[in-house]
Amino acid sequence: MKSIEIKGSVRTDLGKKATRELRKNNGVPCVVYGVQKDENGNPVATHFSVTTDGLRNLVYTPHIYVVDLNIDGKTVNAIMKDIQFHPVKDSILHVDFYQIDEAKPIVMEVPVQLEGLAEGVRAGGKLALQMRKLKVKALYNAIPERLTIDVTALGLGKTIKVGELHYEGLELINAKEAVVCAVKLTRAARGAAATAGK
């Protein structure tokens, strides 16, 4: 997995007024939940801010990254866990990060990449990718940049479901019955099949 550095500054004033002011000045409030726990057993949270531009390469990309958060000179290895967008303007409102614990598995969405020319496509069907990303659970250094699926043997009208996929060292979290990709019958393929059946 690639890494990306993001620089931030610790926030001390967490009130609504300060948050509004921060957003007005092109800033985004963020939280990183650490490996350490407080007396109630909750992860210790550090509130900080980054510029919208500083998040651009992390948010608007098909790639996944380990994030080197540099908060006032202190670096934390983390993954982006959650992001909130403005419902109208689509600007970034808030980002949650989780510090990586190298000994504990993390859950992350990984892009799917289809490989090969499906049998069903050769027969006139159309290959459709239903799930662009799959949720995996694994140690962070075992998570690949993408999950490759070979569709060469996929026939007309056939599907590949989550339960049929297996990757070394990864646990797939999505529903086993969820369809990842399918070769759909096109009108031309249906016509050809009908002609062949006569």
- pLDDT tens for 152-169 read 999 999 999 999 999 999
Average pLDDT for 44-68: 90
Domain with CATH 2.40.240.10 in the chain: 2-100
Q: What is the pLDDT of residue 195?
A: 65
Q: Give the whole-angstrom CA distance, residue 50 versus residue 96.
A: 12
Nearest Cα neighbor of 12 from 51, 46, 39 is 46
pLDDT at 188 over 80: no
Give the chain's mean pLDDT: 90
User: 165: buried, middle or exposed (CB in 10 Å: 19+, 13-18, 0-12)?
Assistant: middle
Amino acid identity at 192: A
Half-sphere exposure of 7 (CA within 13 A, CB side): 3
Is the model more confident about 36 or about 175?
175
Q: What is the pLDDT of residue 19?
A: 92
pLDDT at 86 over 80: yes
The pTM of the full predicted model, rounded to 2 decimals, is 0.77
Q: What is the pLDDT of residue 189?
A: 58
* Annotation: CATH topology of 2-100: Ribosomal Protein L25; Chain P (2.40.240)
pLDDT at 5 over 70: yes
Task: Give the pLDDT band of residue 4 (cuts 50, 70, 90).
Answer: very high
Domain with CATH 2.170.120.20 in the chain: 107-197
Q: Give the whole-angstrom CA distance, residue 71 versus residue 10.
A: 6
pLDDT at 196 over 80: no
* Annotation: CATH topology of 107-197: RNA Polymerase Alpha Subunit; Chain A, domain 2 (2.170.120)
